[in-house]
Chain A
Protein backbone atom coordinates (compact mmCIF):
# COMPACT_ATOMS: atom_id res chain seq x y z
CA UNK A 1 0.00 0.00 0.00
CA UNK A 2 1.39 3.40 -0.95
CA UNK A 3 1.40 6.32 1.49
CA UNK A 4 -1.22 8.03 -0.63
CA UNK A 5 -3.53 5.02 -0.36
CA UNK A 6 -2.83 4.76 3.36
CA UNK A 7 -3.72 8.44 3.83
CA UNK A 8 -6.89 7.98 1.78
CA UNK A 9 -7.84 5.06 3.99
CA UNK A 10 -7.07 7.10 7.09
CA UNK A 11 -9.41 9.85 5.94
CA UNK A 12 -12.20 7.38 5.37
CA UNK A 13 -11.63 5.76 8.75
CA UNK A 14 -11.81 9.19 10.39
CA UNK A 15 -14.96 10.05 8.48
CA UNK A 16 -16.53 6.72 9.42
CA UNK A 17 -15.84 7.61 13.05
CA UNK A 18 -17.65 10.93 12.69
CA UNK A 19 -14.60 13.24 12.68
CA UNK A 20 -15.58 16.57 11.15
CA UNK A 21 -13.96 17.59 7.87
CA UNK A 22 -11.76 20.43 9.28
CA UNK A 23 -10.30 18.07 11.88
CA UNK A 24 -9.77 15.38 9.28
CA UNK A 25 -7.90 17.77 7.02
CA UNK A 26 -5.79 19.01 9.94
CA UNK A 27 -4.91 15.44 10.91
CA UNK A 28 -4.07 14.48 7.35
CA UNK A 29 -1.90 17.56 6.76
CA UNK A 30 0.05 16.92 9.97
CA UNK A 31 0.47 13.23 9.21
CA UNK A 32 1.57 13.96 5.65
CA UNK A 33 4.08 16.54 6.90
CA UNK A 34 5.48 14.01 9.36
CA UNK A 35 5.87 11.44 6.62
CA UNK A 36 7.59 13.97 4.38
CA UNK A 37 10.17 14.61 7.11
CA UNK A 38 10.58 11.08 8.42
CA UNK A 39 10.34 9.19 5.12
CA UNK A 40 9.45 5.53 4.82
CA UNK A 41 6.06 3.82 4.53
CA UNK A 42 3.28 5.31 6.66
CA UNK A 43 2.28 1.91 7.93
CA UNK A 44 5.75 1.47 9.51
CA UNK A 45 5.29 4.65 11.55
CA UNK A 46 1.63 4.48 12.41
CA UNK A 47 0.48 0.92 11.85
CA UNK A 48 -2.82 0.16 10.08
CA UNK A 49 -4.84 3.24 9.15
CA UNK A 50 -7.84 2.03 11.15
CA UNK A 51 -5.78 1.70 14.33
CA UNK A 52 -4.20 5.12 13.87
CA UNK A 53 -7.63 6.62 13.23
CA UNK A 54 -8.73 5.25 16.62
CA UNK A 55 -5.76 6.95 18.25
CA UNK A 56 -6.56 10.23 16.55
CA UNK A 57 -10.20 10.05 17.58
CA UNK A 58 -9.15 9.61 21.19
CA UNK A 59 -6.69 12.51 20.85
CA UNK A 60 -9.13 14.99 19.37
CA UNK A 61 -11.85 13.85 21.78
CA UNK A 62 -14.75 16.24 21.96
CA UNK A 63 -14.24 17.65 18.49
CA UNK A 64 -15.59 14.41 17.06
CA UNK A 65 -19.13 14.74 15.73
CA UNK A 66 -21.14 11.77 16.97
CA UNK A 67 -22.75 9.74 14.25
CA UNK A 68 -26.48 9.77 14.70
CA UNK A 69 -28.38 7.40 12.48
CA UNK A 70 -31.69 8.66 13.80
CA UNK A 71 -31.46 11.69 11.53
CA UNK A 72 -30.17 9.64 8.63
CA UNK A 73 -32.91 7.40 7.41
CA UNK A 74 -31.79 4.97 4.72
CA UNK A 75 -32.23 6.23 1.17
CA UNK A 76 -31.77 2.77 -0.31
CA UNK A 77 -33.47 -0.27 1.21
CA UNK A 78 -33.05 -3.69 -0.39
CA UNK A 79 -35.12 -6.38 1.24
CA UNK A 80 -34.97 -10.06 0.32
CA UNK A 81 -34.40 -9.47 -3.37
CA UNK A 82 -34.45 -12.43 -5.70
CA UNK A 83 -33.75 -12.07 -9.43
CA UNK A 84 -33.46 -14.56 -12.22
CA UNK A 85 -32.16 -14.21 -15.73
CA UNK A 86 -33.17 -16.64 -18.49
CA UNK A 87 -34.37 -19.17 -15.98
CA UNK A 88 -31.25 -18.99 -13.81
CA UNK A 89 -31.49 -17.46 -10.34
CA UNK A 90 -28.85 -14.75 -10.13
CA UNK A 91 -29.65 -13.18 -6.77
CA UNK A 92 -31.52 -14.63 -3.84
CA UNK A 93 -32.28 -13.13 -0.45
CA UNK A 94 -30.18 -9.99 -0.84
CA UNK A 95 -30.86 -7.38 1.85
CA UNK A 96 -29.03 -4.22 2.90
CA UNK A 97 -29.62 -0.52 3.27
CA UNK A 98 -27.63 2.60 2.48
CA UNK A 99 -27.79 5.85 4.45
CA UNK A 100 -26.88 9.32 3.18
CA UNK A 101 -23.11 9.74 2.97
CA UNK A 102 -22.40 6.01 2.89
CA UNK A 103 -20.52 4.18 0.16
CA UNK A 104 -21.54 0.55 -0.26
CA UNK A 105 -19.30 -1.66 -2.37
CA UNK A 106 -20.82 -4.62 -4.21
CA UNK A 107 -18.24 -7.29 -4.79
CA UNK A 108 -18.42 -10.78 -6.19
CA UNK A 109 -17.26 -12.98 -9.02
CA UNK A 110 -18.42 -12.63 -12.62
CA UNK A 111 -22.10 -13.53 -12.82
CA UNK A 112 -22.65 -13.00 -9.09
CA UNK A 113 -25.35 -10.46 -9.90
CA UNK A 114 -23.68 -7.09 -9.23
CA UNK A 115 -24.89 -5.46 -12.43
CA UNK A 116 -28.30 -7.11 -12.09
CA UNK A 117 -28.70 -5.71 -8.58
CA UNK A 118 -27.68 -2.22 -9.74
CA UNK A 119 -30.17 -2.39 -12.61
CA UNK A 120 -32.86 -3.37 -10.13
CA UNK A 121 -31.91 -0.45 -7.88
CA UNK A 122 -32.01 1.85 -10.91
CA UNK A 123 -35.52 0.65 -11.76
CA UNK A 124 -34.42 -0.86 -15.07
CA UNK A 125 -35.29 -4.42 -14.00
CA UNK A 126 -37.81 -5.74 -11.54
CA UNK A 127 -37.01 -8.30 -8.85
CA UNK A 128 -38.88 -11.61 -8.92
CA UNK A 129 -39.29 -11.40 -5.19
CA UNK A 130 -38.51 -8.92 -2.44
CA UNK A 131 -38.59 -5.16 -2.57
CA UNK A 132 -36.34 -2.24 -3.37
CA UNK A 133 -36.85 1.31 -2.23
CA UNK A 134 -34.70 4.18 -3.50
CA UNK A 135 -35.47 7.70 -2.30
CA UNK A 136 -34.62 10.80 -4.30
CA UNK A 137 -33.13 11.41 -7.72
CA UNK A 138 -30.71 8.75 -8.93
CA UNK A 139 -27.48 9.03 -10.86
CA UNK A 140 -26.74 5.77 -12.64
CA UNK A 141 -23.44 4.96 -14.33
CA UNK A 142 -23.57 1.70 -16.31
CA UNK A 143 -20.54 -0.42 -17.06
CA UNK A 144 -20.52 0.81 -20.63
CA UNK A 145 -22.74 2.96 -22.80
CA UNK A 146 -25.33 5.19 -21.23
CA UNK A 147 -24.29 8.11 -23.43
CA UNK A 148 -25.27 9.33 -26.89
CA UNK A 149 -22.18 8.69 -29.02
CA UNK A 150 -23.08 11.64 -31.26
CA UNK A 151 -23.33 14.27 -28.50
CA UNK A 152 -20.53 16.27 -26.90
CA UNK A 153 -19.82 16.55 -23.19
CA UNK A 154 -21.53 19.95 -22.79
CA UNK A 155 -24.63 18.61 -24.53
CA UNK A 156 -24.78 15.67 -22.14
CA UNK A 157 -24.36 18.05 -19.21
CA UNK A 158 -27.22 20.22 -20.52
CA UNK A 159 -29.54 17.22 -20.77
CA UNK A 160 -28.64 15.72 -17.39
CA UNK A 161 -28.68 19.15 -15.74
CA UNK A 162 -32.16 19.89 -17.04
CA UNK A 163 -33.38 16.80 -15.23
CA UNK A 164 -32.26 18.47 -12.02
CA UNK A 165 -33.76 21.83 -13.00
CA UNK A 166 -30.48 23.48 -14.06
CA UNK A 167 -30.25 25.80 -17.02
CA UNK A 168 -27.75 25.09 -19.77
CA UNK A 169 -24.99 27.39 -18.52
CA UNK A 170 -25.17 26.17 -14.95
CA UNK A 171 -25.19 22.54 -16.08
CA UNK A 172 -22.18 23.11 -18.33
CA UNK A 173 -20.27 24.91 -15.58
CA UNK A 174 -20.98 22.17 -13.08
CA UNK A 175 -20.26 19.38 -15.56
CA UNK A 176 -16.93 20.85 -16.62
CA UNK A 177 -15.96 21.36 -12.99
CA UNK A 178 -16.76 17.73 -12.15
CA UNK A 179 -14.87 16.53 -15.23
CA UNK A 180 -11.82 18.59 -14.33
CA UNK A 181 -11.83 17.03 -10.86
CA UNK A 182 -11.65 13.68 -12.66
CA UNK A 183 -8.64 14.99 -14.60
CA UNK A 184 -10.35 15.69 -17.92
CA UNK A 185 -10.96 18.95 -19.79
CA UNK A 186 -14.56 18.53 -20.94
CA UNK A 187 -14.56 21.71 -23.01
CA UNK A 188 -13.10 19.81 -25.97
CA UNK A 189 -15.70 19.56 -28.75
CA UNK A 190 -15.39 15.80 -29.19
CA UNK A 191 -18.49 13.63 -29.38
CA UNK A 192 -18.77 10.85 -26.80
CA UNK A 193 -18.31 8.10 -29.38
CA UNK A 194 -14.83 9.38 -30.24
CA UNK A 195 -13.55 9.57 -26.65
CA UNK A 196 -11.30 6.88 -25.18
CA UNK A 197 -12.96 4.31 -22.91
CA UNK A 198 -11.64 5.87 -19.70
CA UNK A 199 -12.64 9.38 -20.75
CA UNK A 200 -16.11 8.19 -21.67
CA UNK A 201 -16.45 6.80 -18.16
CA UNK A 202 -15.34 10.15 -16.74
CA UNK A 203 -18.02 11.85 -18.83
CA UNK A 204 -20.55 9.28 -17.66
CA UNK A 205 -19.69 9.85 -13.99
CA UNK A 206 -19.65 13.65 -14.32
CA UNK A 207 -22.98 13.68 -16.19
CA UNK A 208 -24.59 11.52 -13.50
CA UNK A 209 -23.46 13.97 -10.82
CA UNK A 210 -24.51 17.17 -12.63
CA UNK A 211 -28.18 17.20 -11.53
CA UNK A 212 -27.20 16.56 -7.89
CA UNK A 213 -28.48 13.04 -7.22
CA UNK A 214 -29.31 11.76 -3.74
CA UNK A 215 -28.21 8.26 -4.71
CA UNK A 216 -25.39 7.21 -7.02
CA UNK A 217 -25.41 3.75 -8.57
CA UNK A 218 -22.08 2.96 -10.19
CA UNK A 219 -21.44 -0.23 -12.12
CA UNK A 220 -17.69 -0.75 -12.56
CA UNK A 221 -17.38 3.02 -12.88
CA UNK A 222 -13.67 3.29 -13.48
CA UNK A 223 -13.28 0.75 -16.25
CA UNK A 224 -10.65 2.05 -18.62
CA UNK A 225 -9.46 4.79 -16.27
CA UNK A 226 -5.78 5.01 -15.38
CA UNK A 227 -4.52 4.98 -11.78
CA UNK A 228 -4.78 8.76 -11.50
CA UNK A 229 -8.33 8.68 -12.85
CA UNK A 230 -9.33 6.00 -10.34
CA UNK A 231 -7.81 7.95 -7.48
CA UNK A 232 -9.57 11.13 -8.58
CA UNK A 233 -12.82 9.23 -8.97
CA UNK A 234 -12.68 8.12 -5.34
CA UNK A 235 -11.83 11.61 -4.16
CA UNK A 236 -14.83 12.95 -6.05
CA UNK A 237 -17.05 10.22 -4.66
CA UNK A 238 -15.94 10.91 -1.13
CA UNK A 239 -16.47 14.65 -1.59
CA UNK A 240 -20.00 13.92 -2.75
CA UNK A 241 -20.65 11.95 0.43
CA UNK A 242 -20.00 15.21 2.30
CA UNK A 243 -23.17 16.47 0.65
CA UNK A 244 -25.04 13.38 1.82
CA UNK A 245 -24.96 11.46 -1.45
CA UNK A 246 -25.35 7.72 -0.88
CA UNK A 247 -23.42 5.52 -3.29
CA UNK A 248 -23.51 1.89 -4.32
CA UNK A 249 -20.43 0.85 -6.32
CA UNK A 250 -19.77 -2.49 -7.94
CA UNK A 251 -16.20 -3.41 -8.69
CA UNK A 252 -13.75 -6.22 -9.35
CA UNK A 253 -10.90 -4.11 -7.99
CA UNK A 254 -9.73 -5.03 -4.50
CA UNK A 255 -9.19 -1.35 -3.63
CA UNK A 256 -12.93 -0.91 -3.26
CA UNK A 257 -12.68 -2.88 0.01
CA UNK A 258 -10.56 -0.13 1.57
CA UNK A 259 -12.55 2.72 0.18
CA UNK A 260 -16.15 1.80 0.95
CA UNK A 261 -17.89 2.24 4.29
CA UNK A 262 -19.72 -1.06 3.83
CA UNK A 263 -19.00 -4.07 1.66
CA UNK A 264 -21.75 -6.35 0.37
CA UNK A 265 -20.41 -9.58 -1.09
CA UNK A 266 -22.65 -11.27 -3.62
CA UNK A 267 -22.00 -14.94 -4.00
CA UNK A 268 -24.58 -15.61 -6.68
CA UNK A 269 -27.48 -17.92 -6.09
CA UNK A 270 -26.68 -21.67 -5.91
Chain B
Protein backbone atom coordinates (compact mmCIF):
# COMPACT_ATOMS: atom_id res chain seq x y z
CA UNK B 1 0.00 0.00 0.00
CA UNK B 2 2.81 2.43 0.85
CA UNK B 3 4.28 1.67 -2.58
CA UNK B 4 1.05 2.72 -4.25
CA UNK B 5 0.88 5.90 -2.15
CA UNK B 6 4.46 6.80 -3.04
CA UNK B 7 3.80 6.16 -6.72
CA UNK B 8 0.56 8.17 -6.61
CA UNK B 9 2.35 11.02 -4.84
CA UNK B 10 5.03 11.14 -7.53
CA UNK B 11 2.43 11.01 -10.31
CA UNK B 12 0.60 13.91 -8.65
CA UNK B 13 3.82 15.89 -8.29
CA UNK B 14 4.57 15.37 -11.96
CA UNK B 15 1.03 16.35 -12.97
CA UNK B 16 0.91 19.46 -10.80
CA UNK B 17 4.20 20.70 -12.26
CA UNK B 18 2.57 20.80 -15.69
CA UNK B 19 0.95 24.10 -14.88
CA UNK B 20 -0.33 24.82 -18.37
CA UNK B 21 -1.95 21.40 -18.58
CA UNK B 22 -3.63 21.89 -15.23
CA UNK B 23 -4.80 25.36 -16.28
CA UNK B 24 -6.30 23.97 -19.48
CA UNK B 25 -7.85 21.12 -17.52
CA UNK B 26 -9.75 23.66 -15.42
CA UNK B 27 -10.29 26.40 -18.00
CA UNK B 28 -11.58 24.33 -20.90
CA UNK B 29 -14.74 23.02 -19.18
CA UNK B 30 -15.20 26.40 -17.52
CA UNK B 31 -14.99 28.25 -20.83
CA UNK B 32 -17.49 25.90 -22.46
CA UNK B 33 -19.81 26.35 -19.49
CA UNK B 34 -19.59 30.16 -19.58
CA UNK B 35 -20.10 30.59 -23.33
CA UNK B 36 -23.13 28.28 -23.41
CA UNK B 37 -24.78 29.64 -20.31
CA UNK B 38 -28.08 30.74 -21.86
CA UNK B 39 -29.96 27.56 -20.90
CA UNK B 40 -29.39 25.20 -17.98
CA UNK B 41 -29.25 22.00 -19.98
CA UNK B 42 -26.94 23.37 -22.65
CA UNK B 43 -24.42 24.85 -20.22
CA UNK B 44 -24.24 21.78 -17.97
CA UNK B 45 -23.85 19.48 -20.96
CA UNK B 46 -21.10 21.71 -22.33
CA UNK B 47 -19.37 21.60 -18.94
CA UNK B 48 -19.55 17.80 -18.82
CA UNK B 49 -18.25 17.58 -22.40
CA UNK B 50 -15.32 19.82 -21.45
CA UNK B 51 -14.65 17.69 -18.39
CA UNK B 52 -14.66 14.53 -20.51
CA UNK B 53 -12.19 15.90 -23.00
CA UNK B 54 -9.88 17.55 -20.46
CA UNK B 55 -9.70 14.66 -17.96
CA UNK B 56 -9.36 12.07 -20.71
CA UNK B 57 -6.48 13.99 -22.26
CA UNK B 58 -4.63 14.42 -18.97
CA UNK B 59 -5.04 10.69 -18.25
CA UNK B 60 -3.80 9.89 -21.75
CA UNK B 61 -0.67 12.04 -21.41
CA UNK B 62 0.10 10.72 -17.92
CA UNK B 63 -0.08 7.18 -19.31
CA UNK B 64 2.14 8.01 -22.26
CA UNK B 65 4.64 9.70 -19.92
CA UNK B 66 4.67 6.57 -17.76
CA UNK B 67 5.87 4.45 -20.69
CA UNK B 68 9.37 5.82 -20.24
CA UNK B 69 9.76 5.31 -16.53
CA UNK B 70 7.46 2.46 -15.58
CA UNK B 71 9.28 -0.38 -17.43
CA UNK B 72 12.47 0.61 -15.61
CA UNK B 73 10.68 0.67 -12.26
CA UNK B 74 9.22 -2.76 -13.01
CA UNK B 75 12.77 -4.06 -13.57
CA UNK B 76 13.84 -2.44 -10.30
CA UNK B 77 11.27 -4.44 -8.36
CA UNK B 78 7.88 -2.75 -8.72
CA UNK B 79 4.96 -4.86 -9.88
CA UNK B 80 3.05 -3.68 -12.95
CA UNK B 81 -0.14 -3.80 -10.95
CA UNK B 82 1.17 -1.42 -8.29
CA UNK B 83 2.50 0.99 -10.88
CA UNK B 84 -0.87 1.01 -12.63
CA UNK B 85 -2.72 1.42 -9.34
CA UNK B 86 -0.51 4.34 -8.31
CA UNK B 87 -0.99 6.19 -11.58
CA UNK B 88 -4.73 5.55 -11.64
CA UNK B 89 -5.16 6.66 -8.02
CA UNK B 90 -3.40 9.95 -8.73
CA UNK B 91 -5.45 10.58 -11.89
CA UNK B 92 -8.70 9.80 -10.11
CA UNK B 93 -7.78 12.16 -7.29
CA UNK B 94 -7.15 15.02 -9.72
CA UNK B 95 -10.26 14.25 -11.78
CA UNK B 96 -12.54 13.98 -8.77
CA UNK B 97 -11.29 17.22 -7.23
CA UNK B 98 -11.97 19.04 -10.49
CA UNK B 99 -15.38 17.39 -10.89
CA UNK B 100 -16.33 18.38 -7.35
CA UNK B 101 -15.26 21.96 -8.05
CA UNK B 102 -17.46 22.17 -11.13
CA UNK B 103 -20.30 20.53 -9.26
CA UNK B 104 -20.10 23.27 -6.64
CA UNK B 105 -20.10 25.88 -9.41
CA UNK B 106 -23.27 24.46 -10.99
CA UNK B 107 -24.92 24.12 -7.57
CA UNK B 108 -24.55 27.83 -6.82
CA UNK B 109 -24.92 29.13 -10.38
CA UNK B 110 -27.77 27.12 -11.93
CA UNK B 111 -31.28 26.11 -10.93
CA UNK B 112 -30.91 22.49 -11.98
CA UNK B 113 -33.58 19.91 -11.29
CA UNK B 114 -31.30 17.68 -9.22
CA UNK B 115 -28.03 18.99 -7.83
CA UNK B 116 -26.96 15.58 -6.45
CA UNK B 117 -27.46 13.95 -9.84
CA UNK B 118 -25.41 16.65 -11.55
CA UNK B 119 -22.62 15.77 -9.10
CA UNK B 120 -23.14 12.09 -9.81
CA UNK B 121 -22.94 12.69 -13.56
CA UNK B 122 -19.69 14.63 -13.16
CA UNK B 123 -18.10 12.04 -10.90
CA UNK B 124 -19.03 9.21 -13.26
CA UNK B 125 -17.81 11.28 -16.21
CA UNK B 126 -14.47 11.88 -14.48
CA UNK B 127 -13.96 8.18 -13.75
CA UNK B 128 -14.95 7.11 -17.28
CA UNK B 129 -12.68 9.76 -18.78
CA UNK B 130 -9.72 8.52 -16.70
CA UNK B 131 -10.39 4.93 -17.79
CA UNK B 132 -10.69 5.91 -21.47
CA UNK B 133 -7.63 8.19 -21.34
CA UNK B 134 -5.54 5.39 -19.76
CA UNK B 135 -6.79 2.85 -22.32
CA UNK B 136 -6.03 5.11 -25.28
CA UNK B 137 -2.60 5.82 -23.76
CA UNK B 138 -1.93 2.08 -23.54
CA UNK B 139 -3.22 1.31 -27.04
CA UNK B 140 -2.18 4.23 -29.24
CA UNK B 141 1.55 4.58 -29.88
CA UNK B 142 2.05 8.32 -30.22
CA UNK B 143 0.81 11.49 -28.57
CA UNK B 144 -0.64 13.09 -31.71
CA UNK B 145 -2.72 10.07 -32.67
CA UNK B 146 -3.94 9.53 -29.11
CA UNK B 147 -5.02 13.14 -28.74
CA UNK B 148 -6.93 12.95 -32.02
CA UNK B 149 -8.62 9.70 -31.00
CA UNK B 150 -9.82 11.31 -27.76
CA UNK B 151 -11.00 14.40 -29.61
CA UNK B 152 -12.82 12.18 -32.07
CA UNK B 153 -14.57 10.22 -29.31
CA UNK B 154 -15.53 13.22 -27.20
CA UNK B 155 -16.48 15.39 -30.20
CA UNK B 156 -18.63 12.68 -31.74
CA UNK B 157 -20.42 12.28 -28.43
CA UNK B 158 -21.08 16.02 -28.25
CA UNK B 159 -22.75 16.28 -31.67
CA UNK B 160 -24.54 12.93 -31.80
CA UNK B 161 -28.24 12.67 -31.09
CA UNK B 162 -28.30 10.61 -27.86
CA UNK B 163 -31.60 9.08 -28.98
CA UNK B 164 -29.89 7.48 -31.98
CA UNK B 165 -29.47 3.80 -31.21
CA UNK B 166 -25.87 3.57 -32.32
CA UNK B 167 -24.77 6.41 -30.03
CA UNK B 168 -24.80 3.90 -27.14
CA UNK B 169 -21.68 2.46 -28.72
CA UNK B 170 -19.76 5.65 -27.91
CA UNK B 171 -17.74 5.47 -24.69
CA UNK B 172 -18.98 8.75 -23.21
CA UNK B 173 -22.69 8.04 -23.76
CA UNK B 174 -23.16 7.61 -19.99
CA UNK B 175 -22.12 11.23 -19.35
CA UNK B 176 -24.79 12.52 -21.71
CA UNK B 177 -27.45 10.18 -20.30
CA UNK B 178 -26.73 10.99 -16.65
CA UNK B 179 -26.54 14.73 -17.33
CA UNK B 180 -29.85 14.61 -19.16
CA UNK B 181 -31.36 12.69 -16.24
CA UNK B 182 -30.05 15.30 -13.80
CA UNK B 183 -31.33 18.25 -15.87
CA UNK B 184 -34.50 16.99 -17.53
CA UNK B 185 -35.64 14.14 -15.26
CA UNK B 186 -36.57 10.47 -15.65
CA UNK B 187 -38.87 11.11 -18.59
CA UNK B 188 -35.88 12.09 -20.72
CA UNK B 189 -33.23 9.64 -19.56
CA UNK B 190 -32.48 6.65 -17.31
CA UNK B 191 -29.89 6.82 -14.52
CA UNK B 192 -29.68 3.01 -14.45
CA UNK B 193 -28.84 2.89 -18.15
CA UNK B 194 -26.24 5.62 -17.66
CA UNK B 195 -24.54 3.91 -14.73
CA UNK B 196 -24.69 0.51 -16.41
CA UNK B 197 -23.08 1.95 -19.54
CA UNK B 198 -20.38 3.65 -17.47
CA UNK B 199 -19.51 0.44 -15.64
CA UNK B 200 -19.37 -1.53 -18.88
CA UNK B 201 -17.09 1.07 -20.48
CA UNK B 202 -14.79 1.20 -17.43
CA UNK B 203 -14.57 -2.60 -17.39
CA UNK B 204 -13.78 -2.76 -21.10
CA UNK B 205 -11.21 0.04 -20.80
CA UNK B 206 -9.45 -1.69 -17.90
CA UNK B 207 -9.29 -4.97 -19.83
CA UNK B 208 -7.94 -3.24 -22.92
CA UNK B 209 -5.31 -1.40 -20.87
CA UNK B 210 -4.14 -4.62 -19.24
CA UNK B 211 -4.04 -6.47 -22.53
CA UNK B 212 -2.02 -3.69 -24.14
CA UNK B 213 0.33 -3.57 -21.15
CA UNK B 214 1.04 -7.30 -21.20
CA UNK B 215 1.51 -7.24 -24.99
CA UNK B 216 4.03 -4.41 -24.70
CA UNK B 217 5.91 -6.18 -21.90
Contacts and interface: CB of A to CB of B under 8 A. Distances in A.
Interface residues of A, number: 30
A78 B75 CA distance: 18
Contacts of B13: 150-151, 155
A120 B68 CA distance: 16
Nearest to A155: B10
Contact of A137 (B6, B17, B66, B76): B76
Q: Which of B3, B18, B77 gathers most chain A CB within 10 Å?
A: B77
Given A151-B14, A158-B10, A159-B10, A213 B65 contact: no
A139 B75 CA distance: 7
A138 B217 CA distance: 15
Contact of A146 (B14, B15, B18, B72): B72
Contacts of B217: 123-124
Secondary structure at the A interface, as helix, strand, loop or mixed, is: loop
B71 interface: yes
A191 B18 CA distance: 11
Q: Which of A142, A159, A162 gathers most chain B CB within 10 Å?
A: A159
Nearest to A158: B6
Contacts of B156: none
Contacts of B77: 137, 162-165, 211
Interface of B: 3, 6-7, 10, 13-15, 17-18, 65-66, 68-69, 71-73, 75-78, 217
Given A146-B69, A163-B78, 4 more contacts: A122-B71, A158-B10, A160-B73, A162-B6
Closest 5 CB pairs of A and B: A163-B76, A163-B77, A150-B14, A138-B75, A150-B17
Interface of A: 122-124, 137-140, 142, 145-151, 155, 158-160, 162-165, 168, 191, 207-208, 210-211, 213
